[in-house]
Structure 1
Amino acid sequence: MTTQETEEIQAELAAALPHEMFCFQCEQTAGGTGCRWHQGVCGKHATTSNLEDELTGYLVAYARCVHDAGVASPCAHASLPMVEGLFCCITNVCFDDDAVHALIASIRERIDHVSARHGLDAADYPAYDMGLVWNADEDVRSLKSLLLFGLQGMAAYAYHAAMLGARSQAVDGFFFRALYGLSATDDRQALLDLVLECGRVNLECMAMLDEANTSTYGDPVPTTVDLAVEPGPFIVVTGHDLRDLEQILEQTDGRGVNVYTHGEMLPAHAYPRLKEHPQLKGNFGTAWQNQQREFRDIPAPIVWTTNCLMPPKDSYADRVFTTEVVAYPGCTHIDADGGGRKDFTPVIERAIELGGYPERHGMTGVNGGTQVTCGFGRKTVLDNAGAIVQAVKDGAIGHFFLVGGCDGAKPGRNYYTRFVEETPADSVVLTLACGKYRFNDLDLGEVAGLPRILDMGQCNDAYGAIQVALALAEAFGCSVNELPLSFVLSWYEQKAVCVLLTLLALGVEDIYLGPDLPAFVSPNVLGILQERFGIRGITTPEADMAEMLA
């Protein structure tokens, strides 16, 4: 073989291999520092990861263009592409290069439109080089990463609210202002101010989504959910978007096809208007990271409505459907028409074709339980606030623990199961998000007439938990930090980041965070957060419990 032939083969191989990537946005990032080669721990290829960096760069360019045009409050039509683009870049959302290319084209069209309308030159707004963030001084990089990942998490909430017709100029405007700030300054104090402002704005965003959900579907009510699957055709719906689930329920009415929730969709069972559909039967499986095992050979289609997608295994890849900005190569995507309606006929037909299980299929939670209870939302808990306050005054309730956040596959997360098992018999465990799957099937009994585990909902329902804490503080005439209340949070991706920023922006102190602290937080920035807010990493359930109850 000649030298030229060898070089040609090497060039072909190099072109075929994925490019190098850099990503450290999730808790499971490689080596605890960052995924750097051809594929991330999440399964995302370097080409897709780099495309999402390019998309983010165009979002920054769009924000700069809007700033230079002097547009103070972008309209909803102008803001939705920004929200979609940020949402797309959340871990475990989009694995499809074509889908990312389409979003990039959409943002470039918006830049062209704004430039033409305001006498600017679109050529002045190329994609911002995200390498300027990833290769910046470590403290600047840390603050900009906190800001960017918080914005991505908030975008998911804003998107779900928009699907129910709820928008906020303050929230939409902040996406633009914050991304402009990300590119315009390296001043650490200015960036820290933006990070904390992101937390404050996210509270407004979560409140908007809470109002959209409850005004559309009613206030959640305590509901016991079966974990077994009945015989016959069924569909599994996972993710966060209640509007998608509603459309599937509407379209399966009278079709002989049952519907099961999965992961973060579990709280849907507690909404009165969704409960009106008798084919909404139960919950399939546990948290998102177990899907490749739990969906093996499943005789039903699965619909992903938001993040939590893992690369499908061959045993069920042909029955995976995606919607919204979730996408995976080769999987059927359900798009909305101009009015926002989605036709889930292909999903329903696939369910009928597969037929489901021939007999009742028993499943359990991670601790062997066959049922879980959800629906202890803000209204339900606050309706019992008087009795709860009296129980505390009488000594019947000694402490509250908010144990919630994201679940994940990395070792060490059994901490949260052990921690909840260690909680005193006179305590209440408030929980939300998929982290609850570590312990939500445990039977801890009752205290003061309430179950000791109160499932408050999805991660965005942190808003409800915050409102409960504020109400209790008001009832006792003290601050939230003076309550017998401890925060024990698990994180995995960007929505957990923005919820954490909201708690910090509200001045909540002494939060325990794990399993590991974020790789993108530098020692100096961590020092600031520890000094100002007392944030700390978890150690052991026994040691942390003793410290909280001291």
Structure 2
Amino acid sequence: MSMFCYQCQETSKNEGCTVVGVCGKTPEVTNLQDLLIYVLKGISIYAEKAKQVGINDAETGLFIAKNLFSTITNVNFDPVYFETKIKEALALREKVKTSFLAAYKEKYGTEFNEELPEMATWYSDNVEDFYKKGEVVGVLATANEDIRSLRELLIYGLKGISAYIEHAFVLDEQNDEIFSFLHKGLAATTDDSLSADDLVGIIMDAGATAVKAMEMLDRANTGTYGHPEPTQINIGVRNRPGILISGHDLKDLEELLEQSKDKGIDVYTHGEMLPANAYPFFKKYDHFVGNYGNSWWEQNREFESFNGPILMTTNCLVPPKASYQDRVYTTGVVGFPGLNHIEDRKPGEQKDFSKIIEHALKCEPPTEIENGTIPGGFARNAVLSVADKVVDAVQSGAINRFVVMAGCEGRHKTRDYYKDMARELPNDTVILTAGCAKYRYNKLDLGDIGGIPRILDAGQCNDSYSLVVIAQKLVEALGVEDINDLPLSYTIAWYEQKAVAVLLALLYLGVKGIRLGPTLPAFISPNVLKVLVEKFDIKPIGTVKDDLEAILAGK
């Protein structure tokens, strides 16, 4: 076995990728990512110790967040990137260690002599050693299946939280308490004294932290770009060269739009960047045309036909075909060998997008693949502005049930379940969605209920906080005691680790009866699954017919 990874929904045979990742990740990159996480755990061990002597360092939290983010599925495939980050992580660990040891001696008057796990002590400056060590410190290094399952569930939740932290940080929002929890969570995965129950408790803390992270990111986005507003988003093209921007980073979009205005080119969103079209701030740019294409997994076809350059700002990169590889640019933590990379912004400056703009001017306009518009912009502010109308519709029976069909898209044909469910839901139901899962059904014409669209799209997977707020306000408005008493069902699609963070957030908020699909996570052991079923009534999706019957019966 040259690698082992089972963090995404599409992992081989729903067991684990052992030869090469289904995502395209090589064994070398997998093992380097495992070693990076291993060293991040070592940093966290010292950071947790340092808290006990009065040292709280946000720098380590931000470093951990950025580097956990780089290991999310479909973010970075570049071994050289991870070699560099491992060196940086080892240097930072030694810095944190030195500060801690000095503070400990000053406080207690003696040297610290506690034996620590190997991830706090292992060191090498030889890249060849990185590859060898990476082969033995991954997922399977934890022998007990249930402890391994809980540790990985926690780590994947921390990866999702880290993505939210990074998006918020570039918009000048941060929370040292959340940074601190990254230390606590990673350090907990190294502590053999923790029982399964102890780990479950920390995982619930991760859910609470995920809620805080989503709230922080929501504040960052809406405070910078305004609240999304109901918008008919163009999905056609114009007859000018274009740049396609994909991923989640709104700051990158802002700077690209500002630098490309009046240059004779257009900018289109793709995938999870679709919701940006509903923010008031971006509507002032007349060369911001709309959305091109669908979700991440169709990019091989859609990037080909776009004809112009593509900017990948976050996760969801599919290894590009040779025919358009020279048109793909990465930025931030995204990377792939041989692609153009736009460096991070320097303090007080914008990123320099001149190269991709110049590239676009030499390209043909996009080939049209569809036309018309699709609705978006139904985040919390938009929905709550018509709360009275929604409540009246519920009380009159015009709306019988809300169904949350949020989360991720993916390649598997089994994901047609969500499209078929959307079609089969009766006309008195409303779908609440966020994330790219909506691409299975957001172009269906499902009509409205008294002017309320039957598909309310709150935005990116990052915008799942809007759905939380809407549910909480419905609890108040309808006078029910508990979120589970609402006429609200959850049928969630998952793919990568931000979806895990959202799931943990929902569990922390006490949501029960979530249907999860298209498969249950391979990293959930039978015993851990039993706990989740008993405590939260988590269940796999079934057939549309059976699930629809249960949903309409409130089960």
TM-score by length of structure 2 reads 0.92
2:547 corresponds to which of 532, 535, 544: 544
Letter in 1 for 2:30: S
- Single out whichever of 404-413 and 131-140 deviates more from structure 2: 131-140
- What is the rounded CA distance, in whole Å, between the counterparts of 2:339 and 2:55 in structure 1? 37
> Of 265, 287, 290, which residue of structure 1 is paired with 2:295?
287
Mapped pair 1:402 → 2:398: no
Rounded Cα–Cα distance in structure 2 between residues aligned with 1:279 and 1:190: 53
2:369 is the alignment partner of 1:363: yes
Q: Structure 1 residue 416 and structure 2 residue 418: aligned? A: yes
Question: Partners of 1:42 and 1:379 in 2: how far apart?
Answer: 36
Aligned partners of 1:240 and 1:264 also within 8 Å: yes
User: Aligned match of 1:59 in 29, 34, 40?
Assistant: 40
CA distance in structure 2 between the partners assigned to 1:173 and 1:74 by the alignment: 8
Question: Structure 1, residues 87-111: CA drift from partner, whole Å, max 9, x if none?
Answer: 0110000000111112112211211
| Residue 74 of structure 1: how far off its partner (Å) | 3.6
- The answer to whether 1:164 aligns with 2:160 is no
- Alignment partner for residue 241 of structure 1, among 235, 239, 249? 249
Provide the rounded CA distance (Å) in 2 between the counterparts of 1:88 and 1:131. 16
Residues in 2 aligned to 1:301 and 1:440: alpha-carbon distance in whole angstroms:
26
2:5 match: 23
Letter of the 2:486 counterpart: L
After superposing on structure 2, the runs of 4+ consecutive aligned residues of structure 1 that deviate more than 6 Å are 120-123
Give secondary structure in 1 for the equivalent of 2:232: strand
Who is 2:514 aligned against? 511
Once the two structures are superposed, residues 415-450 of structure 1 have per-residue CA deviations (whole angstroms, 9 ceiling, x without a partner) of 000000011101111111000000001111110211
Does the 8 Å contact 1:161/1:209 carry over to 2?
Answer: yes
Q: Is the 8 A contact 2:31 2:138 kept in 1?
A: no
- Residue number in structure 1 paired with 2:238: 230
Other-structure match for 2:127: none
Paired residue type of 1:548: I
Q: 1:352 aligns with which of 361, 380, 401?
A: 361
* Structure 1 residue 527: Cα displacement: 0.8
For 2:148, the equivalent position in structure 1 comes to 141
In the alignment, does 2:304 pair up with 1:296?
A: yes
The answer to whether the 8 Å contact 1:81/1:106 transfers is no
Partner of 1:155: 162
1:316 to 306, 320, 324: 324
Q: Which amino acid aligns with 1:419?
A: M
Q: CA deviation at 1:73?
A: 6.6
Cα separation, 2, equivalents of 1:521 and 1:397: 36
| Distance in 2 (alpha carbons) for counterparts of 1:277 and 1:114 | 45
| Cα distance, 1:297 vs structure 2 | 4.9
Residue pairs, 1:373-452, within 5 angstroms = 373-452=375-454
The answer as to 2:124 corresponding to 1:125 is no
1:384 and 1:316 mapped to 2: Cα distance? 45
AA at the equivalent of 1:346: K
**Retained in 1: the 8 A contact 2:244–2:267?**
yes
Check conservation: 2:35, 2:138, Cα contact below 8 A. no
Deviations 1:216-265 (A, max 9, x none): 00000011111112111110000000000100001011111100000000
Cross-structure match for 1:173: 180
* Overall identity of the aligned pairs, in %: 43
2:523 maps to which residue?
520
Give the whole-Å Cα distance in 2 for the aligned partners of 1:542 and 1:388: 27
Shift of 1:130: 3.2
**5+ residue gaps, structure 2:** 103-111, 124-132
| Aligned counterpart, 1:48 | 29
Q: Which residue of 1 aligns with 2:62?
A: 80
TM-score with structure 1 setting the length:
0.93
Q: Using the alignment, how far apart are the partners of 2:83 and 2:543 within structure 1?
A: 45
Please tell me whether the aligned partners of residues 396 and 447 of structure 1 are also in contact (alpha carbons under 8 angstroms): yes
Is the 8 Å Cα contact of residues 76 and 167 (structure 1) preserved in structure 2?
A: no
Cα deviations by residue, 1:44-101 (Å, 9 ceiling, x for unpaired): 1000000000000010000012123336674333322111110011000000011111
Q: Which residue of 2 aligns with 1:4?
A: none
Q: 2:290 corresponds to which letter in structure 1?
A: G
- 1:464 corresponds to which residue? 466
Equivalent pair of 1:73/1:169 in contact (CA under 8 Å): no
The farther-off stretch of 120-129 and 281-290 is 120-129
Contact 1:376 1:454 in 2 (8 A): yes
Q: Does 1:531 align with 2:534?
A: yes
Indicate conservation of the 8 Å contact 1:228/1:370, yes or no.
Answer: yes
Task: Quote the Cα distance in structure 2 between the aligned partners of 1:118 and 1:526.
Answer: 39
The secondary structure found in structure 2 opposite 1:336 is coil
SS in 2 for 1:69: helix
The alignment yields a C-alpha RMSD, in angstroms, of 1.7
Deviation (angstroms), 1:483:
0.6
Partner of 2:220: 212
User: Once the 2 structures are TM-superposed, how far is the Cα of residue 126 of structure 1 from its aligned partner?
Assistant: 2.2
Alpha-carbon contact 1:206-1:461 (below 8 Å) kept: yes
> 1:268 aligned to 2:276?
yes
1:132: how far off? 6.7
Deviation digits for residues 161-200 of structure 1 (CA, Å, limit 9, x no counterpart):
0000100011100000111111013410111111111011
Tell me if the contact between 1:93 and 1:326 (Cα under 8 Å) persists in the aligned partners: yes
Note if contact 1:111-1:125 (Cα within 8 Å) is conserved in structure 2: no
Residues in 2 aligned to 1:394 and 1:519: alpha-carbon distance in whole angstroms:
43
Match of 1:34 among 3, 13, 16: 16
Q: Does the CA contact (< 8 Å) of 1:415 and 1:541 recur in 2?
A: yes
- Structure 1 residues 131 and 316: CA distance shift in structure 2, 3 A: closer
Rounded to whole Å, the distance in 2 between the matches of 1:132 and 1:436 is 32
Q: Deviations over 1:280-308 (max 9, x none)?
A: 10111000000111112532000000000
How far, CA to CA, are the matches of 1:519 and 1:32 in structure 2?
Answer: 6
Query: Residue 338 of structure 1: CA displacement?
Result: 2.3
Structure 2 CA distance for aligned equivalents of residues 429 and 296 of structure 1: 32
Aligned equivalents of 1:424, 1:344: Cα separation in 2: 47
Paired residue secondary structure (1:225): strand
Distance 1:424 1:132 in 2: 44
**Residues matched between the structures, number:** 524
Instruction: Give, in angstroms, the shift of residue 337 of structure 1.
Output: 3.5
- Opposite residue 268 of structure 1, the aligned amino acid is A
Measure how far apart 1:134 and its partner are: 4.6
CA distance in 1, matches of 2:525, 2:177: 30
Aligned in 2, Cα 1:74/1:290: closer, same or farther, shift over 3 Å? Answer: farther
> CA separation in 1, counterparts of 2:122 and 2:174?
28
Shift of the alpha carbon at 1:125?
2.6
Aligned-residue offset at 1:455: 0.7
The whole-number CA distance in structure 2 between the counterparts of 1:447 and 1:99 is 51
> What residue in structure 1 maps to residue 496 of structure 2?
493
Does the 8 Å contact 1:388/1:448 carry over to 2? no
